[in-house]
Amino acid sequence: MQKVLHSESIRAALASKGWDQKKLAEAVGVSGQAVTNWMKGQDFPRPATLLKLATALSLSFDKLVLTDESNQPVIAFRKKGGAKTTEEHVLRARAMGTMLKPLVQYLPARQSLRTQISDTSLAYEHLQATVAAVRSKLGIGQGAVLSYLNLIKQFVENDAVIVPVMWGEKKRHENALHILLPAERVTFIYLNLDTHLEDFKFWMAHELAHVYTPDLAGKEEGEDFADAFAGALLFPQELAHQAYVSASSKRSASGVISALHAYAKEHGISLFSVFAEVGKYAMAKGLAPLKASDKDIHAVRSTVRGELVSGILFKPIPPDPKTYIAAADGIFQSLFFTALQAMLRDRSTGPGYVQQILSVGLPDAQAIFEELTR
């Protein structure tokens, strides 16, 4: 079902404001004919214009757009800290999902077998059994370091297309964006490279949990499970036990932190992740808590931060389009730009499309477009 605007909702909103379609066209910055075409279902606004339309009419996405619910993009955000998800964030992400649909036909045929997790219990022993099974499937021991290659391979095998982006360290609402297209059975995972290395692996594991549990994507329980799964997958109870034995013998908070930091460094994850998993282990086994608190961990966290992933991958920053695309292809094994290149050449699509699906500025989109179409 092609998306069309909910004309009745729009008419009601116009009536409440005392506007006509001409006034709406002026507010959104389009022609009167464009609004007429929207109302007749003959055309559909682009994502940026859709946002303006929603704001002007004070309508949510669900009230503004008529869509087949079974085919609507499913959105999940890995947010920055306690950032609040607004209707604008959801609208923008769903619009990106809609724009991605034509790209799917340029991807390889979908896999017939995928990994799915049926037991999404957060109970400690249940969760540990789940991650143990996943690690076994990956072919790594319960005490081994989970590599980026292990994670990337799972995205590829489950038709999840990684889209590495550079959205800035603090400028964007999300650290990662998950867009599932149900009818097409494809997931796009946007990963912000402007983040610290020790956090990046956690975000990837979090997104992998969404891939394994598509029915929970976009739901609060899905976010809770993804966070719990990521921590346990990266630092399961075998490692938590070892770290507890090492840290519990320390007599001070600084000694505990030093012991835990050694594990965090070895496994390429954050000190807080190690501390959290050891705490869960101690509680589940009825052991005494460590001689350190959340406050102690956060106090030293900023002093042990690693480089940004973008800074490690690209020197100098920002990378030229050729280097950026090569990193997506080679490091993240992503077929995103290969598919995008085929589509741009096949359909003569312009740089505006690149701007919309990558959510970047027009100059960056233009540079990527020129690299892909040269």
- Condensed to tens digits (0 to 9), the pLDDT of residues 274-301 reads 999 999 999 999 999 999 999 999 888 7
Strand partners, 164: 191
Residues 54 and 163 in one domain: no
- CATH of residue 41: 1.10.260.40
pLDDT at 162: 97
Q: Is residue 36 part of a domain?
A: yes
* 205 — pLDDT class (breaks 50, 70, 90): very high
Beta strands in the chain, from DSSP E residues, in sequence order: 4-5, 65-66, 74-79, 160-165, 174-181, 186-192
* Residues 132 and 218 occupy one common structural domain: yes
- How far apart CA 151 and CA 19 sit, in angstroms, is 52
Residue 344 lies in a domain: yes
Q: Which residues pair with 74 in a beta bridge?
A: 180
pLDDT at 325: 97
Whether pLDDT at 185 is above 80: yes
Rg (CA), the chain: 23
Q: Is residue 72 part of a domain?
A: no
> Is residue 171 in some structural domain?
yes
Last residue of a domain, one of 231, 253, 271: 231
* Boundary (domain end) residue, out of 200, 231, 262: 231
Q: What is the mean pLDDT of residues 46-62?
A: 82
Whether 70 shows a pLDDT value over 50: the answer reads: yes
Token code pair at residue 127: 């969760």
161 and 192, same domain (yes or no): yes
Q: Is residue 93 part of a domain?
A: no
pLDDT at 1: 45
pLDDT of 68 above 80: no
Closest CA to 105 of 338, 337, 343: 343
Same domain flag for 118 and 195: yes
In a domain, 2, yes or no: yes
Average pLDDT for 205-226:
91
The number of folded domains in the chain is 4
- Quote the pLDDT of residue 83: 63
Residues 201 and 285 in one domain: no
**Is the same domain home to 110 and 209?**
yes
Distance CA 352, CA 220 (A): 33
Contacts 24+ apart (CB under 8 A), 260-269: 260/292, 261/304, 263/235, 263/239, 264/198, 264/304, 266/145, 267/145, 267/146, 267/234, 267/235, 267/239, 268/145, 268/197, 268/198, 268/201, 269/198, 269/201, 269/202, 269/234, 269/235
Give tens-digit pLDDT for 254-273. 999 999 999 999 999 999 99
Q: Residue 270: which domain range? A: 237-292
- Residue 346, classified by CB atoms within 10 Å of its CB into exposed (0-12), middle (13-18) or buried (19+), is exposed
Query: What confidence category does residue 51 fall into, taking pLDDT thresholds of 50, 70 and 90?
Result: confident
Closest CA to 91 of 122, 55, 115, 116: 55
Domain boundary residue among 67, 92, 122?
A: 67
The answer to whether 231 and 275 are in contact (CB under 8 A) is no
CA dist., res. 188 & res. 339, Å (int) = 13
Do 107 and 224 have their domain in common? yes
- Same domain? For 165 and 284 the reply is no
Q: Are 208 and 107 members of one domain?
A: yes
- Give the confidence band of 72 by pLDDT, cuts at 50, 70, 90: confident
Exposed, middle or buried by CB within 10 Å (0-12, 13-18, 19+), for 202? buried
The pLDDT of residue 170 is above 80: no
Task: Grade residue 206 by pLDDT with cuts at 50, 70 and 90.
Answer: very high
Task: Compute CA distances 169 → 161, 174, 289, 309, 359, whole Å.
Answer: 22, 10, 34, 10, 15
